[in-house]
């Protein structure tokens, strides 16, 4: 391995590959910020990077096989580089690194650095040690030293930022490995969150998504006990912050004051991603999810009464150990009653280290799980289509995210309720850039998105003007500016909430 820092003449380059959830995306932005702070620059071509950092997820199915498969490819690349007299630094961080520990370096000794979920801030030191020792350096801490949000960040999207308000989780959901890997819940002081958000707004960010495994228990560990509703209201006073979103709330801890704060704070968007997991009380009990169907539906009813335009999205697991046909029908009944705008559905599969993985004698036949999953997907798609149909004929204000990946004539944006809406590309007469606000009339709908006519009015924002300046300097806008509430790579089991 060559020097971990860059020289003035030849900056070393990096590429970060993120697996899993929004928390990992947030941490990857910090990892990139740390690397930039010590002189690295983002590689234009990731395959040509001098350093590759894999930010791993332990929740995704077969996560370890995927990691070791990727590391096998990287070994080939590293060997080829060495034959050319160059090197490739390989770093493995995140949840799977925390879970597997020394195993990563034993199975893939060509890795240079392994770090866990609590010590991202040590990355420069670990790189320096690996460089000096020419051996894999493994460092895993049991507790968090520095809140990751306090670390420098290099955001992937100009107008939007992930802001972590708490880390860890005090719950014990039977299917979830997160508490074992991220530790007990720790909230970040309100002043720290506000300071970060004000700094982001000064840096042209107009939308933030607050992140926590359970945002509704935010603040219970803080002196003075500023709670989540107080935080939302405080963010309402940040000048220039146009949109605030959050994920994930927990139905058990969701208190009425949060709904009041959402309804009364104009920049808090009318969207609730409320993980259901199951509509059966029996299964919820087995999952150790301490709410029941009645409480969930009551929360939905109160949300709709107070915030009529709110969209509701969710996560659902099919085939949890012991789930019967009647349990599944209870889930379908909730899906039909709530009519979710979108639902991320997962077929249960055991995760090593979780309590549910031990319930082998209660596993549901995989064919039956697949059958239930298809029935659920059908309902979910129908409700999603209907939710987007209801937008037809309405004017929606879109925060523009960028051009389509496949059709430069089509751009995309998100309405306040987080519906994805496509619209025609900007024109010389009606120009806009990613981060601007465009009002357009929805003309048609499909499952998961709607299609609008040309922008009728445009409100320029600090983010849009910054994107315009960047475009003038040659930057190409991308479609990556869309915050999603469950990672598209996570199709088998939810991560948060």
Q: How far apart are the first and last CA of the chain?
A: 40
Q: Site for ligand SF4 (CB under 6 A): which residue of 13, 28, 149, 214?
A: 214
Q: Under the criterion CB under 6 A, does residue 173 sit at the interface with ligand SF4?
A: yes
d(CA 320, CA 286): 9
Exposed/middle/buried for residue 457 (C-beta within 10 Å: 0-12, 13-18, 19+): exposed
| 176 part of the interface to ligand SF4, by CB under 6 A | yes
Indicate the residue among 113 and 215 with the shorter CB distance to ligand SF4: 215
Determine, following the binding rule CB under 6 A, whether residue 212 of this chain makes contact with ligand SF4.
no
Least distance CB 171 / ligand SF4 (angstroms): 4
Nearer to ligand SF4, 245 or 383 (CB): 245
Of 152, 213, 178, nearest to 94 by C-alpha is 178
Q: Which stretch binds ligand SF4 (CB under 6 A): 134-142, 167-175, 334-342, 381-389?
A: 167-175
How far apart are the C-alpha atoms of 57 and 86, rounded to whole Å? 29
Phi, psi dihedrals of residue 68, rounded to the nearest 5°: -70, -30
Structure tokens at 391: 């937008």
Least Å distance, CB 162 to ligand SF4, is 16
Cα-based distances in Å from 262 to 136, 226, 302, 342, 370: 48, 16, 12, 20, 37
Which is closer to ligand SF4, CB of 250 or CB of 383? 250
Residue range at the interface with ligand SF4 (CB under 6 A); choices 19-27, 110-118, 171-179, 346-354: 171-179
Q: Which is nearer to ligand SF4, 159 or 250 (CB)?
A: 250
DSSP letter at 251? Answer: T
To the nearest whole angstrom, how small is the minimum distance from the Cβ of residue 305 to ligand SF4?
26
Between 170 and 203, name the residue whose CB sits nearer to ligand SF4.
170
| Number of residues forming the site for ligand SF4 (CB under 6 A) | 11
- In angstroms, what is the minimal distance from the CB of 418 to ligand SF4? 20
CB of 20 vs ligand SF4, minimal distance in Å: 12
Question: Could you tell me if 59 and 493 are in contact, meaning their C-beta atoms sit under 8 angstroms apart?
Answer: yes
CB of 486 to ligand SF4, least distance (A): 12
Member of 213, 216, 314, 412 binding ligand SF4 (CB under 6 A) = 213
Site stretch for ligand SF4 (CB under 6 A), options 13-21, 89-97, 174-182, 295-303: 174-182
Q: Which is nearer to ligand SF4, 170 or 260 (CB)?
A: 170
Coil vs helix vs strand at 426: coil
Q: Between residues 183 and 483, which has the closer beta carbon with respect to ligand SF4?
A: 183
Hunting for tokens 């034993």 — which residue is that? 106
Which residue, 21 or 445, has its beta carbon nearer to ligand SF4? 21
Which among 69, 54, 68 has a CA at the least distance from the CA of 24?
Answer: 54
Q: Do residues 158 and 224 touch, judged by C-beta distance below 8 A?
A: no
Least separation in angstroms between CB 274 and ligand SF4: 12
Candidates 252, 294, 269, 275; CA nearest to 344 is 275
If one asks whether residue 216 binds ligand SF4 (CB under 6 A), the answer comes out as no
Interacting residue with ligand SF4 among 78, 99, 250, 372 (CB under 6 A): 250
Q: Which of 22, 149, 171, 345 binds ligand SF4 (CB under 6 A)?
A: 171
Does 356 contact ligand SF4 by CB under 6 A? no
Token pair, residue 298, equals 């009551």
Least separation in angstroms between CB 336 and ligand SF4? 24
Cα separation, 476 vs 481, whole angstroms? 13
Shortest reach from residue 247's CB to ligand SF4, in Å: 11
- 303 with 269: CB under 8 angstroms? no
Nearer to ligand SF4, 104 or 178 (CB): 178
Give the pairing of strands 166-167 and 41-42.
unpaired
Q: Are 432 and 458 in contact (CB under 8 A)?
A: yes
Question: Using an 8 Å Cβ cutoff, are 289 and 299 in contact?
Answer: no
Q: Which stretch binds ligand SF4 (CB under 6 A): 7-15, 95-103, 173-181, 366-374?
A: 173-181
For the CB of residue 217, give the shortest distance to ligand SF4 in the complex, in Å. Answer: 9
The four Cα atoms 241, 243, 246, 251 give a dihedral, to 10 degrees, of 130
Which residue has 């596993």 as its token pair?
363
Q: Which is nearer to ligand SF4, 243 or 351 (CB)?
A: 351
Report the alpha-carbon distance of residue 339 to residue 383 in Å, rounded. Answer: 5
User: Considering only residues 468-497, where is the footprint of ligand SF4 by CB under 6 A?
Assistant: 496-497
Nearer to ligand SF4, 284 or 376 (CB): 284
CB 210 within 8 A of CB 244: yes
Q: Point out which residues pair with 420 in neighbouring strands.
A: 414
Q: How far is CA 276 from CA 138, 293, 488, in A?
A: 38, 9, 18
Among the candidate windows 1-9, 48-56, 126-134, 170-178, which touches ligand SF4 by CB under 6 A?
A: 170-178
Judged by the rule CB under 6 A, the positions of this chain that interact with ligand SF4 are: 169, 171, 173, 176, 178-179, 213-214, 250, 496-497
């Amino acid at each position: 391995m060559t020097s971990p820092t860059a020289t003035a003449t030849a900056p070393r380059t990096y590429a970060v590959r993120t697996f899993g959830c929004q928390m990992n995306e947030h941490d990857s932005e910090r990892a990139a910020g740390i690397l930039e702070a010590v002189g690295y620059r983002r590689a234009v071509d990731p395959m040509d990077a001098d350093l590759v950092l894999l930010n791993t997820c332990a929740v995704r199915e077969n996560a370890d096989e995927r990691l070791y498969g990727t590391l096998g490819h990287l070994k080939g690349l590293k060997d080829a580089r060495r034959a050319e007299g160059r090197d490739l630094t390989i770093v493995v961080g995140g949840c799977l690194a925390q879970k597997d520990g020394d195993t990563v370096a034993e199975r893939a000794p060509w890795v240079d650095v392994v770090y866990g979920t609590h010590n991202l801030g040590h990355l420069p030191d670990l790189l320096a040690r690996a460089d000096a020792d020419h051996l894999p350096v493994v460092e895993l801490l049991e507790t968090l030293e520095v809140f990751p949000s306090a670390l420098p960040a290099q955001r992937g999207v100009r107008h939007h930022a992930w802001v972590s308000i708490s880390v860890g989780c005090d719950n014990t959901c039977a299917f979830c490995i997160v508490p074992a890997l991220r530790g007990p819940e720790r909230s970040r002081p309100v002043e720290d969150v506000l300071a970060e958000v004000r700094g982001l707004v000064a840096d042209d960010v107009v939308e933030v998504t607050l992140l926590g495994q359970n945002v509704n228990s935010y603040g219970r560990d803080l002196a003075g006990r500023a709670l989540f509703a107080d935080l939302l209201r405080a963010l309402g006073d940040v000048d220039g912050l146009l949109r605030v979103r959050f994920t994930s709330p927990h139905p058990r801890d969701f208190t009425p004051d949060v709904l009041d704060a959402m309804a009364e704070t104009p920049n808090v968007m009318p969207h609730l991603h409320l993980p259901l997991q199951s509509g059966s009380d029996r299964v919820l009990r087995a999952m150790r999810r301490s709410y029941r169907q009645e409480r969930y539906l009551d929360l939905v009813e109160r949300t709709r009464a107070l915030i009529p335009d709110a969209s509701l999205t969710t996560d659902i697991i099919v085939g949890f150990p012991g789930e019967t046909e009647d349990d599944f029908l209870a889930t379908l009944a909730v899906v039909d009653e709530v009519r979710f705008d979108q639902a991320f559905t997962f077929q249960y599969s055991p995760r090593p280290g979780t309590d549910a993985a031990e319930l082998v004698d209660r596993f549901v036949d995989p064919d039956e799980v697949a059958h239930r999953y298809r029935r659920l997907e059908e309902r979910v798609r129908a409700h999603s289509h209907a939710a987007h149909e209801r937008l037809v004929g309405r004017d929606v204000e879109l925060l523009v995210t960028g051009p389509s990946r496949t059709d430069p004539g089509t751009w995309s944006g998100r309405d306040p309720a987080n519906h994805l809406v496509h619209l025609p590309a900007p024109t010389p007469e009606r120009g806009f850039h990613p981060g601007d606000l465009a009002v357009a009339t929805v003309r048609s709908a499909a499952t998961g998105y709607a299609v609008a006519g040309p922008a009728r009015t445009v409100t320029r924002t600090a983010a849009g003007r910054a994107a315009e300046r960047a475009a003038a300097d040659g930057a190409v806008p991308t479609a990556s500016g869309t915050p999603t509430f469950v990672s598209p790579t996570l199709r088998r089991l939810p991560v948060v909430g």
